Structure 1
Amino acid sequence: MPNDSQASPSAGSVREVGGYPIDLTGPLSHTLVIKPGVGSLSIGPSQLGKKADLHVSPDTHIDWTVFDVFATPAGSPWPRFLHYTGSDQGFFDWAQKRPIEEMTWTPILSADTVADATQSNLYGLHIELDQSGSSLSLRLPKRHFRLSVSGDLSRFSATGDMPSSLTLAPRTGRRKNDTPFLLPDMGELHKVTSLTLQNTPLGQPISLECLNRFPNLTSLSLWGNFCDLDLMAHHTQLTNLELRFMPDLGGLPTLNAWPLLTRFIAYNVEEIAGKRLKQQMKTRAVTRPWTDHASVSQLRKAEWWTTEFGRPFSSWPKRLAKLANEAYNVAQATLSEARSFAEAEAAITAFTVRFNNLKGIETTEREDLGEAVWQLSQSDHLIGQPIAEEMAQQWFDAAREY
């Protein structure tokens, strides 16, 4: 098939790169551009800009079957990975006949919604819930699949067959000194046997008190900052335990607490506890050899966490992150010599206005910069009294144009 924007899909599989007019929301409504080696496709509102390959209003009906003619060079359905932001649930019906390898859905809901995926063939379903008020109730697929839910978990519920694995990534606060986050009631999902909990390394800790509601766990994977680790000892039936990017392992039981453990991973964890885990792992191997993968690696000192995750620019594109960190360094150095609130305000104002003419500063970046201003206000200075968070926020709001 010709490799140009005027080509139209023919009956049967289309495996070549190029531009193809498709009837996604109406006759020839969109042009699909397939690039070499790209197996993913993102659909969403125009506000997403370049983050979406095809722009579709959130409440517009989508004809998902337009993708039936497309395949990878190897012959499997294309796209392999779909990202969709909107309210159309037609992909669940489409997936009854055409399997979806990985589906990421960010629902935009104007009212409480029930979605039926019982007959859908989804290998992996990822649901990202924003902060809008409406809730989503999902009837789970009957087939073997993995489920991941992130964001405002209080708005999500599910019924039906349990997923083979469940990943929960709640939206938590930015500060490690915040009151621990308590996972909301997840209803029937408490019956899963494999659970992954994800959090940021230096953000608000998630309390593992929630594990008491998951009595069937044989596999547990933790990413980030948690507290109440001692409660893990109640899950003596664990056969797999994974600890990643955890700066605080205080209260973690010894490995002997899980006599059935066959697989253990500790990766990027605090140094002191990590050394103890290494020794425990070796000791356990003498009495009962590990039958699966077991390792403790990348032990980290306290300063590493601050360098890697301490500033709120870690998820920014490299170019923007470099500019932000340079501005932060200048502001921090200036603040260290500030002897009055006026001098502190000048330093924070100078930092803030650096981003007024910078493209790409949207809601998330604005929140990151606000957090950076708070961090700066807590850094060393010579004023003799603390800079209140409200005061620093006022300086930030007065100077920013984003």
Structure 2
Amino acid sequence: MKEVPNHNQARPPAGSIREVGRYPIDLTGPHSHTLVIEPGVGSLSIGPAHLGRKADLYVEPDAHIDWTVFDAFATPAGSPWPRFLHYTGSDAGFFDWARERPIEEMTWVPILSADTVADASRSKLHALHVGLDPSGGRLHLQLPKRVDYFRLSMSGDLSRFSADGVRPYSLTLAPSTSRRNNGAPVLLPDLGELHQVTNLTLRNEPLAQPISLECLSRFPNLTSLSLWGNFCDLDQLACQARLTNLELRYMPDLGGLPPLDTLPLLDSFIAFNVEEITGKRLRQQLKTRANTRPWNGYTSVSKLRKPEWWAAEFGRPFSSWPKRLAKLANEAYDVAQAAMAQARSLADAEAAITAFTVRFNTLKGIETVEREDLGEAVRQLSQSDHLIGQPIPEEMAERWFDAARDY
């Protein structure tokens, strides 16, 4: 592994460093950081120390970053490195940097103390994902106009975002939803000029609070729509007469879905991991339509799922965990659930939940997100079957959880 000595003050020429190694860089000041490049890794994450192992380089949220330090780095094939950047903080200077140095994909989680306008109009940015926390200032983005196929993706509190300029080639929206499917449907906020896009993806978790498709009335130009997860008001799809492509994935409830023949221009259709009953009807509709007008694009209806499959795959909050941790978590959950099933007193229930909680006290990788997932698991356990004869208040289970955890 190559290592550049710290006494070398001259900045290497652009694209001259293509080897793995350890390199001192002036990210926030002279030799403020050491960049470690490993074989086959084309991504880099920058952010506050609380991100733990999710960040490769730690910077304070309001630190000024010299993005040009990365000009010297390239992939073995000569493309700019890193190819994929993930940044958590307030410095929007990467948009100016990208006027000369293209960014293949940027994920930005802005930490803004005040409303901010970011100018990406001259940025060579091919894909941008913005993750919006519920606190802080609003972000207004002037969209890139130098990239033909710019892809914009947003997640979190979408009400904190607005944009103007050239519409993106595609737009992906993943609004914040509750993991409990018992609240009012989520309504998308007004997104202004972004409603003019032709290619839209909406994402949600399969068993989360549903997202209402009432929002589709604001998107008059859609030709392609992809839905992932739990939605309601599917009857609104009937108003999208321009659709040529429709994709439905990981949808446990297709209630209200209009027949495919209500979309006169539809030529491609995918239903993957969807509820079984409607899925069978969709298969028949594909065949019927093919007899009258052949499909010119790809069509498929596959992986039809029964209700119990959704509960087994997505009912527990560990589906997004790394496989090793998820396996341990599910094993611990199984043991706790069995203990809860035999619980005859609140003391028995507390013992089961405490035993589950302490299993994770010595495990590495339990950060904020994982802690929240474990809290949700405890809530689910408290509401599972038992022999106590009275409900277990969720607040009581939460107190047991907080008392036993070290994370």
On whether the aligned pair clears a TM of 0.5, the verdict is yes
Contact 1:229 1:252 in 2 (8 A): yes
CA shift digits 1:28-78 (9 cap, x unpaired): 222222222221111112222222222222211111112122222222211
Q: TM-score, normalised by structure 2?
A: 0.94
Within 2, Cα distance between the matches of 1:328 and 1:55? 34
1:349 partner amino acid: T
Q: Which blocks of at least 5 consecutive residues in structure 1 are unaligned?
A: none
Within 2, Cα distance between the matches of 1:118 and 1:10? 29
Contact 1:5 1:31 in 2 (8 A): no
CA shift digits 1:293-340 (9 cap, x unpaired): 111112222222112111011122223222221221111111112222
Contact 1:240 1:262 in 2 (8 A): yes
Distance 1:398 1:169, change over 3 A: same
Q: Does 1:349 align with 2:348?
A: no
The Cα shift of 1:401 comes to: 3.1
The Cα shift of 1:5 comes to: 4.3
Further displaced range: 382-391 or 96-105? 382-391
Matches within 5 A, 1:116-127: 116-127=119-130
Matches within 5 A, 1:1-400: 3-6=2-5, 10-14=12-16, 15-143=18-146, 144=148, 145-400=150-405
Within 2, Cα distance between the matches of 1:315 and 1:169? 15
SS of 2:338's partner is: helix
Contact 1:271 1:299 in 2 (8 A): yes
Contact 2:111 2:136 in 1 (8 A): no
CA shift digits 1:73-96 (9 cap, x unpaired): 222211111111111111100111
Contact 1:124 1:146 in 2 (8 A): yes
1:54 partner amino acid: L
Distance 1:250 1:75, change over 3 A: same
1:73 partner amino acid: P
Percent identity of equivalent pairs: 76
SS of 1:82's partner is: strand
Within 1, Cα distance between the matches of 2:180 and 2:204? 12
The Cα shift of 1:389 comes to: 2.0
Within 2, Cα distance between the matches of 1:349 and 1:12? 55
Further displaced range: 109-118 or 68-77? 68-77
2:279 partner amino acid: G
1:72 partner amino acid: T
SS of 2:77's partner is: coil
Within 1, Cα distance between the matches of 2:406 and 2:360? 8
Further displaced range: 23-32 or 278-287? 23-32
Distance 1:69 1:401, change over 3 A: closer
SS of 1:105's partner is: strand
Distance 1:387 1:151, change over 3 A: same
Within 1, Cα distance between the matches of 2:358 and 2:307? 32
The Cα shift of 1:260 comes to: 0.3
Within 1, Cα distance between the matches of 2:298 and 2:221? 22
The Cα shift of 1:152 comes to: 1.1
The Cα shift of 1:289 comes to: 1.2
Say what the alpha-carbon RMSD is for the aligned residues.
1.7
Q: Which blocks of at least 5 consecutive residues in structure 2 are unaligned?
A: none
The Cα shift of 1:100 comes to: 0.8
Within 2, Cα distance between the matches of 1:103 and 1:215? 28
2:12 partner amino acid: S
Further displaced range: 148-157 or 51-60? 51-60
SS of 1:299's partner is: strand
CA shift digits 1:320-376 (9 cap, x unpaired): 222221221111111112222232222222222322333332321221111111111
Within 1, Cα distance between the matches of 2:45 and 2:403? 37
2:13 partner amino acid: A
Contact 1:18 1:35 in 2 (8 A): yes
Contact 1:146 1:165 in 2 (8 A): yes
2:310 partner amino acid: W
The Cα shift of 1:23 comes to: 1.8
SS of 1:382's partner is: coil
Distance 1:368 1:12, change over 3 A: closer
